[in-house]
Structures are given as C-alpha cells and as structure tokens.
A and B are shown apart, each in its own frame.
Chain A
Amino acid sequence: MILEFLLIPLIVTFLAPLMRPKLSTVVSAISFLIPFFYVIYGLAENIVVKQHVISLVKPIGEFYILGDQISFSFALAICLVSAMVALYSLPYMAHRFDEMGREFESEYRKYIFFYDLYATSMLWLVFSGNFIMLYIFLEISLLASFLLIYMYGYGDRRKVATLYFIWTHIAGMLALIGFLLVASNNGSLAFNSIAKIGFTAWLLIFLGMIVKLPGLGPHVWLPWAHAEAPTPVSALLSPLTVGLGAYVILRAYLISPWFIKKYMMPIFIYGVISSVYAGFMVFRQNDYKRLLAFSTISQMGYCLIAFCLGTYGIMAVIIQYISHAFGKAILFMTAGGIIANYHGLRDITKMGGMHEYVPTISNAALIGFMNLGGILTVGMFGEFFILKGLVDTFGFDISTILAVVFVFIISGLYSFYTFKRIYCGKPAGYEKVKVNRLLDTPLFVIGVISILFIFPPLANILLNAVKTGVIKAAILTIGGVAP
C-alpha cells in the first residue's frame, strides 16, 4: 500500500516535464498532497509498515520501505511543504526566468523535473529501511538541488553551487564511510539487522551529518547556498534538507544510542553554542534570505540539544523538524514574494513598513516567525518537550536550564526584531502591487495547518504517534532509551 503512495510523486516526476507549466505544477502539488493525506491517516491509525523492495548481496542487505511513526512524521512536513512550494514555484520561476532572459516554458519543464526529483528523493529518504538506500536518496537530493542552484541561483551562482556541492558531498562521503564500517561489522545495512554501530562508524556518521545539519564550524556553507538558491529551492533546502541530517542521526540513535549518550555533554554544549552563535548572527544580517539561513542554523541547534535529552528529547527532535519546516518554508516564501514583486529586493536596509505594500505576505511572515518562536504553533510542543526532557535528564541544573531558555529567548527576539525591521516602521516608498494568488495562498495553507496542529484532533494524532513511535523504536532496539 505504502509503495503505491510513494510511487505517485516518483512517476509524476518523470511525467511533469511533458505537461504544460500550469498543469505540471498542479499535478506535482497533488502528487505530494495525496501522500500527505495518507501520512496523516497513517499517523492517526498508528500504522507501521515494512515493505520489501529488493534483497542485495551480503554487506548491503535488504532494501525495504520502512513506514513507522517517525518516518510518517518527517514525511508529513516534507509532503506539505513540497506541495505548497510547488504551487509557489509557478509565479516565482516565471519571474526568475524573465529576469534571466530565458524562455519560460522550456525552462520550466527542466525546472519542474529537478524540483520534483529533489522533493521526491527526500520523501523516499525518510521511508528508506536501509542505510545504503538512504544514502542513495541523499545523494540524489543533493544532485538535484545542486543543479537547481547551478542553473537558476542568484549572485555568483556557479561558485555557490560548487561550494554547496563540495560541502554536502563531504557530508555524504563521511556518512557513507560510516555506513560501510557498519556494514562490515554487522553484515547488513538494513535497519532491522544492525546490532551495534561502532565508535568510528558513529563518529563518521555524526560528523557527516553535523556538516549537513549544520553545526557550528561547518555551517559556513549554509548562508551561501540558502541565500543564493532560487527561492523555491531555498524553501526546500532550509526547511527540509538540512533537517534530514537530524533524521539520519535519529535513525542511528534508535539503532544504537550509546554514542550520543556517552558524549551527551559535549554535544549539548555544542548545540547550545551553535544555536546562540547563529542567533546572534541573525541580528547582523541585511539580506533577508541570508538572515533566514542563519536562523536555520540556530533552529537546527535545537535538534542537537534535543538529541541529548532522552525520550522526550527525541520526540522534540521530530516536532522541531516539523515546526521549523513549516515556519522556514513560509518565511523563505515571503522573502521570495518580496523579491518577485519588487525586482529582486532583498536588502533589509531598503525595506521598512513593507506591510503597507504587501499585507498578505507580511501576515504570512508573522505566522512564520511564530513558528520559529514556538508561539501558538506546533513548535510550542517542541519547546515543551525539550524543556521536559531537560528536567528529566539534568534535573534542576541551573546552567543547562539557563542555556536552553536563553536559546529560546534569542529565537523569539530575532524573529520579532526582523519582523519590525522589514514590515513595520515608516514605509520605504514603493508602489503597492497586486500579489499573485500563488505567491501568498500556499503560505497561509502551511500557516493554518501549523496552528491547527496545537488543537485536537491533529495535535492528538501527531503527538500520540510520535510518543508511540519513539518509545516502541526504543524498546525494539538493544540498549534503547527507556521511557
């Protein structure tokens, strides 16, 4: 059953370039919305499926589709964001091609193929039941996004694309070597037949994913790539792709959690420093998209922190991924909305009082920032679980508590500070424009869903599934985290 749902976007990927732009956009969006509803159904019914795909030779093992609550939760964000960004792409890329002086229809056919390929590979990634399978989709998503940046990016796009490719490739290679070490120790890379991940393997996987996530230090690629990518691609890169680093660590953790448990304190401190560092950087940015890129680093620091906090921490990683995906997708699309309507306007110093000109985009941005700050959106549960996990793990340890609280405060502050800089204050003197429907409606769809997720029945569905999923996964593995 699950395979069919996953095949829909894959098939559409190859069919969409044959259609006219409008039709291909709609079909692509629908092809992600169908799995989205299936995912919700799967979460509600607590479905766990394992579907065999192919059996390979010894050290690789079985390829299978693994649909448990964790996969479903990640897929929830991926499906919704991919569908909405696909809709958004149509007017945005029309503007971009126009700017680049290219012919719309033929370029769009190329674009939609790579876009769908990119999004689909991420969707398949979270349903992979084998590390090699997972790695393959990781690399496909990397290639597709690299090409999109290379072809349609801003600024010195070829250099930025290469830079992005090299960094993420380093990440991929490190992880691959890690996987191969696991294979040589366990004789298989299927999740269900790995007994233990050794130190070197864990370290390599972890380091690789730290580059991808990214943590402080290797994070330098992210502001370039996310700022210079065409906005719909940024709106997938930042919300979905980087967080998949957390997904891979999470899978490794559920199989063999000892590494993170043993090095809990350094990882925790590293997460806090990453988050605070990037949070402070946000205040200094004058480029809207670059600013959002730094905020991504800060938000991913949450995930690193949450990994160290036991069962509730793991649940928080999942919720945080979803909430950040929703929020950041909205925000990148607002940045793109301003770019498309005001001929590439990205410089915040030239903005001010933008609410006057693009009220709908401004309102959407508010919901996006609410997601980042965890105010009245699903992110609230993420923060709640992190704090709960914090007390479970460290008790009343004042320094860790203050650190985490400080991290949360910074997020709230930069969100509203940025909002004030861009959307409030004396209007900067532009013409009011009529915003294309597709440049604002998809933002509100994501926004409304992110708010609905704090109320029943959606809150129920998601949180119950996450709890069951994490606890069950932890019990099934050797040395798993006790609830």
Chain B
Amino acid sequence: MNWELIFLFISPVLCSLPIAFFWVKEPGSERARKLPLLSVFGLFISFVIAIHILLKYPDGTYTIPWLPEYNINFVFIFDYLSKYMGALTAFIAFMIGIYGLEYMKHDYRLGWYWFFFNMFTASMLLVVYSDNLLMLLIGWEGLGLASWGLIGHWFRDDDELAYVGIIGRKIGPLKMYWPPSYGGWRAISTIRVGDMPMFFAVAAIYALTGNLNISQIHWGMLFSKIGAAGTVFLMLCFLMGPFTKSAQLPFSEWLMTAMTGPTTVSALLHSATMVAAGTYLFIRMSWYIHPWALHSVPGVAVLYFFVMLLGLISAFYGALVAIGCLERKVLLAASTMSSLGLMFGCAAASYWFGKLALVIAFWYLLTHAFAKATLFLVAGHLIHATHTRFCCGDLSLAKKMKTGLVATIIATVALGGLPPLTAYWVKAGMDGVMHHLVEMVGSTPLYLLILTSLLYSAFLAKFLSLNFWKGCKCSSLHLHEERLMPFAYACVVSMVFLLLYKILSGTDPLVEKHLLEFGLEKDSLMVGLGVTATYLFALVVPRISVLSPIGTFLGDRMYLPALNDFIVPSIGWAISKLIEYTHKAIDWFCHFGLPDFMLSISRRIRSIQVGYLRVYMKIALAFVMLTIFVSMMGWL
C-alpha cells in the first residue's frame, strides 16, 4: 500500500479534526486558537507530497482496491495534468492556509472553518488525482459540501462585511443583497442541480462499459454505440456537473454570492479548487476522449461546438458584469467566471485544433489560479484594512500597503494579457487556436475572445486603480502590522514568473516553443497592444460617470439573479402550494370526512334503538309496506 498517497488526502482532514472537536468543547479558548497551526501543518504535508509526486513519480496509474467485485477501485492517475494541478492546488491551499492563520485569527467559528477548509483541499486533490469517476465523485461531492460550509461560514448573518450587495436595496420583487446563509444555500442548490445529472452520466457510463476509469474507457466506441443523440445527451448530463461547478451560464449566480464567505475561501474557491474543478475535469476528459480523432463519430462535433460557444458567451457575460461591479470580491468573482468561460472555450476547440488547445487551456488555468488567488488575498487584506467591501483607496493607502500594491500590479498585468507577461503568451495561444477555427466554425469565437480579452484587462486595471490610486479616500485605516498575509500573497504571485520562465525557456514537454511562436505573430501582438491600451485607459479613467446607468445594469448581473431568486422559487412554491391543497383534501377526507360520515351513520343506526315501541312499529310497518309494494310491482 502506498501510504504516501493516502496521506496526501487524509492528512489535511486528520490534522483539522483536533480543532473541530476542541472548538465545540471550548469555543474561543486560548488553547483552541493555537490549533489552526496543526491544520496548516496538514496542508503542508499534502503540499510536500504533491511536490514529490510532481518531481519523482513516473506517469501512469496506481490502484488501491475499493470494490473489486464491481470493477470499481481507487485509481490514481499521474500524468501531465494531474501532476501540475495537484502541485498547484496543494501549494495555493497551503499558502492560503498561512494567510488564514492571520486573517481568521479572531473568528468565532474556527473549528468549522478549518475543518471545511482542509476538507475542501483534500476533496480537490482527490478530484485532481483520480482516474476513477466514482472516486472522483466523492471528491466532487466533498467540494460541493465544503464550499457550502465555507460560503455560509458566518451563518449568523450579522456582519455587514459578509453580505453581497447593498443591504436594503430592492429592484421590484428582487432583494439585491444576500446574507451568507443564503449564499451557501444558493451554492449548494445550484450544484445539486448539476451534480445529479452528472451522477446519472457516470452510472450510465458504468452501465454501458462496465468500467469507470477515464483513461481506460474506449470513448470512441462508447459514443458510436449510443449514437449521436445518445452521445450529446450523455455528455451534456455529465457536463452539467462542470457547468454548474464552474458557474457557466445560466448557473453563474451562486458564484457571485459565494463572496459571502471569508476571503480566504473565495481565494481558494476561485483559483485552485471548486470552480477550477469543472474546467479541469473537462480538460481531463477531453484529454482521454481524444475528440480530435473522433470526427467520424456523430454528435461529438455538436457537443464540442456547444461547449465552446457556451464558454465564450459566459466569458463575455462575466467580463461585462465585472466591468460594472464596484464590490471588490464580486468584481473578481465575475472575472473568474469570465476566465472559466475562456478555459471551456479553448478546451472545446481541441476538437478542431488538437491536443495543444487543451494544453493552452490548462496553462491558462494555471496562470489564472496564481494571479486570481493573489488578487483575492490582496482584496481580503484591503477589506481588513478599510472595513468595507466596496472598492476604495487612494495613494495614501497604496503607500501603506506596498506589498499589496506590487502584488496587485503584477497579478493584473500578468493576468490581463499585457505583453510580455505570462497571460499574454497563453492568450496569444488562444487567439491562435480561435484564428485557426475561423475557417471551420466562423469568426464569432475569435471576436468573442478578443472582446473578452479587452474587457478583461480593463476591469483588472479598474480594480487596481479604484483600490490604490483613484478610489475615494478611506475614512479609517486599520493596519495592524500583518506579516503572514503579505508573505502569502507575495509567494503566490511570484509563481507567475515561474510560469513565464517555463514558457519562454520552452522547457515544458508539451508547451515547448508553441506559445512563443503564437505570441510573436502579428495578430497576437495587435491584440496585445489593444489590451495594453485598454488597461492603461481604465487605469487612468476607472469610472465614467456618464455610463453609470449601464454600469449599474451590468453590476446587477443583467438581472440574472431573478432566475435564482424569483422565477425558479416562484414555480416551486406554486407547485408545492398546489400539492399542499391536494394533501389537505386527502387528509381531511381520510381523517375527518370519512370518520365523521361513519359517525353520523352510526348515530343514525343507534338512534333507531331507543327502546320506544312506536319506533319499532313504524319500522315494521315500513317493511310491510315495502314488501307489499315490491310484490305489487312483481304482480303487475
């Protein structure tokens, strides 16, 4: 038995159990407040093991028996994707863990927080390394559950800082503010809607092939067997899971209100776990489905085209929403949605472009994870310092938070796609992919991508500008000599340079010099220049007051909250009311109507037996009359 592998998953959970128990026993005691160190140590163990796997493990799978009778086992896979992704997850989780030691120091519910935080990490690692779909589902459900627990962490709903939206604001019947308990409910309810079809798809794959290992299933044969409609149906059911987890349209709302959780949670949720799990899974599946080799199988083209379009439209929508947002974390949340859309779009293009599209999508995932985690961590620090969720801050703040400022600049530039930093090369790759597709599927994807890229750099610059330069002056600053928080985001952001080095040196076995070549093409350079221009423009002019009605509309997510908060609940309540009336009717009939009816009959019958002779005489007379009447009828 490979104990190292087992410890990878259980050490975070085991190490968080002491505080989970201790906190219930002695909430808030001095001793209990020291135990988070142990939880972070658990994350550290995972991190070390993940790095060991990255550097030393040969590619391949490793099996631990689970249900051998059913041909379902714990199958761990070590390949290009899982090695990088595992190291990334473990690293970011560990760093955010360190950050959390300081950020959550005075929290009232540390047992809950650390347990779910560590479980979140462990679940994600399970998703990353698993080849078996049922085992993956354990991690997947763990992610959903942990995210619910963490988003609704401040369950008392008593802290204004934990809300999303302006408290008290309403548009028609819609309340445009969301407390943490509601944020958690929205997350889990959306995710359940996606997970169940996905669960069905997994069961269907098992029923059809008798095998659940992604890398072993003969996908082409499976798709040919069930035909075009079957393929599209099966895979759409399956992708409902990734779509809801990765907040693609129209399931994006939960992601925005997920910002009711602590910032550390947002950072982890948006970079390496949860939302990334959806795209990661899609990339992993495509990696072994080999869609580029399945052009002869009907249905696959439709499927991939749909995913690409949905991804790019979601990306565009997310970017537009982010442009209109003024809440720090919600802005970043919308931008995450946009990035996820781009990943889906690019990964789906692999049908036409081949495996390299998947590699590019994956590299975008990596870049995005480091940069977005940094931005969230800085946002958390800002919220701590300024005590507001909304963008504010000027140069005086920037002077006091130098590390934060530098980290934000690096992260925005690196993620926005400004040449010659990391995301530029990756996005150039995406441009190249979409350019290649123009002949086959038209130029819409390319335009959507470019538009999204421009908007993307604009709102990142807006974030930077409104928080450190041109935002309103903060009334009170509460900087308390934090050390761990700046250390954590400085470490995270430095990783984008590592990625940049990898790209420029061409040492990565799959990326090689491809991204470099894409980046040096004229078209990519043009886009890069455009992106730089919008970035600089938005940096200088972060808010345009003339356009503020449009901004409000975008910031209200184009009224998409109506879907989650009004349309679906209204239908549900209408049905349940109808059902309740039916139930009441049956209940009344069985337990009141029928007994009462029987009672009245019984009373009638009993009333006959009163003992008076004249009553009996009457009855006897009536029977005589009846007999005579009947015999008369017979005689006639």
Contacts and interface: CB of A to CB of B under 8 A. Distances in A.
Given A280-B579, A281-B576, A387 B204 contact: yes
B70 A409 contact: no
Contacts of A413: 189, 192
B158 A426 contact: yes
Interface stretch (A54-62, A68-76, A335-343, A352-360): A352-360
B207 A392 contact: yes
A412 B190 CA distance: 10
B208 interface: yes
Given A404-B200, A416-B189, A360 B579 contact: no
Interface in A397-420: 398, 401, 404-405, 408-409, 412-413, 416-417, 420
Interface string B131-155: 0001001100110110010001001
A383 to B, nearest CB: 6
Nearest to B208: A391
Contacts of B587: 220
Contacts of B197: 405
Interface string A39-70: 00000000000000000000000000000000
A149 B484 CA distance: 59
A163 B591 contact: yes
Contacts of A464: 67, 69
Nearest to A465: B69
A398 B577 CA distance: 27
Interface stretch (A109-117, A232-240, A372-380): A372-380
Interface string B183-205: 01100110011011101101110
A354 to B, nearest CB: 10
B517 to A, nearest CB: 44
Interface string B576-612: 1101101100110011000000000000000000000
Contacts of A467: 69-70
A211 to B, nearest CB: 11
B188 A224 contact: no
A388 interface: yes
Contacts of A355: 155
A423 B155 contact: yes
B130 to A, nearest CB: 14
Contacts of B230: 396
Interface stretch (A12-20, A132-140, A178-186, A455-463): A455-463
Contacts, number: 145
Given A220-B591, A454-B138, A353 B67 contact: no
B138 A388 contact: no
A341 to B, nearest CB: 16
Contact of A283 (B137, B179, B576): B576
Secondary structure dominating the interface of B? helix
Interface in A254-297: 277, 280-281, 283-284
A281 B577 CA distance: 8
Contacts of A388: 203-204, 206-207
Interface string A416-450: 11001001111100000000000000000000000
Contacts of B586: 217, 220
Given A396-B233, A416-B148, A460-B67, A409 B192 contact: yes
A221 B589 CA distance: 12
Nearest to B142: A376
A384 B134 contact: yes
Contact of B577 (A217, A277, A284, A396): A284
B66 interface: yes
B615 interface: no
A85 interface: no
A281 B579 contact: yes
B188 to A, nearest CB: 5
A425 B152 CA distance: 9
B157 A426 contact: yes
A370 interface: yes
Contacts of A426: 156-158
Interface residues of B, number: 60
Given A217-B586, A456-B66, A391 B157 contact: no
Interface in A57-115: none
B107 to A, nearest CB: 14
Interface in B210-262: 226, 229-230, 233-234, 237
B181 interface: yes
B196 A463 contact: no
A390 interface: yes
A232 B337 CA distance: 48
A396 B226 CA distance: 9
A387 B203 contact: yes
Given A391-B203, A409-B192, A370 B572 contact: no
Interface in B144-185: 144-145, 148, 152, 155-158, 179-182, 184-185
Contacts of A375: 141, 144-145
B575 interface: yes
Among A375, A383, A392, residue most surrounded by chain B Cβ atoms (within 10 Å): A375
Given A383-B199, A425-B179, A280 B576 contact: yes
A88 B406 CA distance: 58
A280 B572 contact: yes
Secondary structure dominating the interface of A? helix
B203 A463 contact: no
Contacts of A284: 576-577, 579-580
Given A220-B586, A281-B580, A409-B193, A425 B66 contact: no
B498 interface: no
A417 B586 CA distance: 26
B203 A283 contact: no
A148 B314 CA distance: 58
A284 to B, nearest CB: 5
A359 B65 CA distance: 36
Given A217-B586, A463-B70, A405 B200 contact: yes
Among A224, A387, A427, A454, residue most surrounded by chain B Cβ atoms (within 10 Å): A387
Interface string B408-447: 0000000000000000000000000000000000000000
B196 A425 contact: no
Contacts of B202: 384, 387
A408 B199 contact: yes
B24 interface: yes
Contacts of B234: 396
Contacts of B27: 359
B583 A220 contact: yes
Given A163-B591, A380-B137, A456-B66, A425 B192 contact: no
A360 B156 contact: no
B30 to A, nearest CB: 19
A46 to B, nearest CB: 11
A355 B229 CA distance: 47
Interface string A348-373: 00000101100110010000001001
B402 to A, nearest CB: 39
B260 to A, nearest CB: 11
Contacts of A408: 196, 199
A301 to B, nearest CB: 14
Contacts of B582: 277
A454 B66 CA distance: 9
Nearest to A432: B27
Given A280-B576, A412-B188, 14 more contacts: A221-B590, A353-B155, A375-B144, A384-B202, A396-B229, A401-B237, A412-B192, A417-B185, A424-B157, A425-B181, A456-B66, A460-B65, A463-B70, A467-B70
Interface of A: 163, 217, 220-221, 224, 277, 280-281, 283-284, 353, 355-356, 359-360, 363, 370, 373, 375-376, 380, 383-384, 387-388, 390-392, 396, 398, 401, 404-405, 408-409, 412-413, 416-417, 420, 423-427, 454-456, 459-460, 463-464, 467
11 contacts: A353-B157, A376-B141, A376-B142, A384-B202, A387-B203, A413-B192, A417-B185, A423-B155, A425-B181, A460-B69, A463-B67
Closest 4 pairs (CB-CB, A-B): A387-B203, A424-B181, A412-B192, A391-B207
